[in-house]
């Protein structure tokens, strides 16, 4: 990525997802009006990817209780997502949409395409209800992500969005003290 995508609006796209046993259309408009997580991963039927997607599935009810929808995206087709869902116990737990991006358009929109491989990096993007990116995390291929850490960061983003003038310090968890940036705090932390 040449420029930060933080606070930019997601670019238009059209895709098909496998969701709740059906193929459904998904566009950038589906990600607006609520908090959304777009979770890119390299490929179906691989090694680290199912551990991450299964971890998200195990925490999906918590994400939903926070008004968040998760969208998993790889450069596989929606047909491949269905086949993986039907044959893997771990992937079979998934209740969130699995978007197929065989052209790589969405993956390129978010700047996580590995061009020489035609695969996505392990990129996580959190969008606010206006469709603006608030959190970006990109890991190397061999490093899996943790749904509980994503939940913590998402709760911090939601808190900051609903409490203007406050910020969340390192390791902040819901219910803990926040900071109100001011001249009085300079040099005192």
Nearest to 31 by CA among 179, 113, 106, 132: 132
Query: Any catalytic annotation for residue 168?
Result: no
Catalytic residue selected from 17, 49, 68, 112? 49
Per DSSP (E only), the strands in the chain are 14-19, 22-27, 35-40, 68-74, 98-100, 113-114, 119-120, 122-127, 133-139
Q: DSSP per residue over 97-140, as a string? A: -EEE-TT-HHHHHTT-EETTTTEE-EEEEEE-TTSBEEEEEEE-
CA torsion sign for 98, 69, 133, 185 is negative
Reading the block at residue 145, the tokens are 């992500």
Nearest to 50 by CA among 113, 93, 101, 18: 93
Residues designated as active site: 49
């Amino acid at each position: 990525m040449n420029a930060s995508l933080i606070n930019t609006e997601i670019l238009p796209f059209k895709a098909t997802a496998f969701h709740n046993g059906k193929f459904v259309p998904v566009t950038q408009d589906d990600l607006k009006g609520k908090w959304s997580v777009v979770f890119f991963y390299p490929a179906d039927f691989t090694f680290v990817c199912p551990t991450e997607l299964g971890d998200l599935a195990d925490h999906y009810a918590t994400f939903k209780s926070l008004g968040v929808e998760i969208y998993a995206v790889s450069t596989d087709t929606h047909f491949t997502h269905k086949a993986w869902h039907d044959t893997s116990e771990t992937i079979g737990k998934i209740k969130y949409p699995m978007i197929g991006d065989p052209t790589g358009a969405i993956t390129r929109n978010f700047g996580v395409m590995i061009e020489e491989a035609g695969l996505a990096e392990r990129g996580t993007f959190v969008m606010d209800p206006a469709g603006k990116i608030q959190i970006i995390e990109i890991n190397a291929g061999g490093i899996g992500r943790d749904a509980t850490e994503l939940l913590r960061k998402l709760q911090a983003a939601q808190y900051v969005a609903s409490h203007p003038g406050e910020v969340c310090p390192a390791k902040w968890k819901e219910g803990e003290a926040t900071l109100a940036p001011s001249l009085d705090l300079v040099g005192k932390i």
